[in-house]
Amino acid sequence: MKKPIIAGNWKMNKTNADTKALITELIPLVKDAECEVVCCVPFTDIVTARKAARGTNIKIGAQNVHWAEKGAFTGEISAEMLKELKVTYVITGHSERRQYFAETDETVNKRTKAALAAGLKVIVCVGETLAERESNKTAEVVTRQTIGALADISKQDLKRIVIAYEPVWAIGTGRTATAQDANDTIKIIRRVVRKLYGRASANSLRIQYGGSMNPKNAAELMAMPQIDGGLIGGASLKAEDFAKVVNYNK
């Protein structure tokens, strides 16, 4: 059985003081969760988040990583730096990175490989824009992004990858994909992975849905057979809301 994974993506929110308060409030609310619980926090909050979550079932992740080991890349953070801070997960390919920071399938792949090489687990995001969806390009886009992100990644390393299917038009908009649509697109992504790695690897890969997932719609989405978790933006910023998503089955 695959363990579902619910991960919060805090984006550029929360100071260190906020981080300590939010994690502290979250701990008792999610302590009996049956899924894996992750908070992907800003780089500056990692140490505080790790300290606050020590000894609990909350894992800490980052939101980006550079592919180079070190060097003249002002403003970037290496996988080794994240490893030293003992983060478990890192997000790559989030649509906001693709949209505002010129992230491409190639750079997503490079970042993902660097993180895996350092021993981290990676949440790789894929998803179509509204224009792509309206021109019936969803399957084409998620196929291209999935193949691109996974280029030169071994079957062994795939075990440390989670894919997040996040339709861009559903992120931060309050507009959720229907559970059926999310399930159908995730099925397409899983089929791509099956062609690349075989049935067993594709079936054991966890694929999350992300895009305005919240306490109200989490149970319905999580009930779909292809959906193995959620990547949660807005609803991860309040302990009570995030806990309700994490405890979607209670």
Encoded tokens for 154 = 């071994």
CA-CA-CA-CA dihedral for 230, 93, 233, 218, to nearest 10:
-20
For the bound state, the minimum distance from the C-beta of residue 114 to ligand PEP, rounded and expressed in Å, comes to 21
For the bound state, the minimum distance from the C-beta of residue 9 to ligand PEP, rounded and expressed in Å, comes to 4
Asked whether the beta carbons of 190 and 163 are under 8 A apart, the reply is no
For the bound state, the minimum distance from the C-beta of residue 233 to ligand PEP, rounded and expressed in Å, comes to 2
* Residues near ligand PEP (CB under 6 A): 9, 166, 171-172, 210-213, 231-235
Decide whether 155 or 216 has the Cβ nearer to ligand PEP: 216
Decide whether 125 or 202 has the Cβ nearer to ligand PEP: 125
For the bound state, the minimum distance from the C-beta of residue 137 to ligand PEP, rounded and expressed in Å, comes to 20
Decide whether 6 or 115 has the Cβ nearer to ligand PEP: 6
Decide whether 48 or 214 has the Cβ nearer to ligand PEP: 214
> Does 94 qualify as catalytic in the annotation?
yes
> Does 166 qualify as catalytic in the annotation?
yes
Cα–Cα distance, 184 to 130 (Å, whole number): 17
Q: Which of 36, 94, 96, 128 is catalytic?
A: 94
Cα–Cα distance, 231 to 161 (Å, whole number): 14
- List Cβ neighbours of 65 (8 Å cut-off, separation of 6 or more): 77, 78, 79, 82, 90, 92, 111, 114, 115, 120
Asked whether the beta carbons of 60 and 53 are under 8 A apart, the reply is yes
Residues classed as catalytic: 94, 166
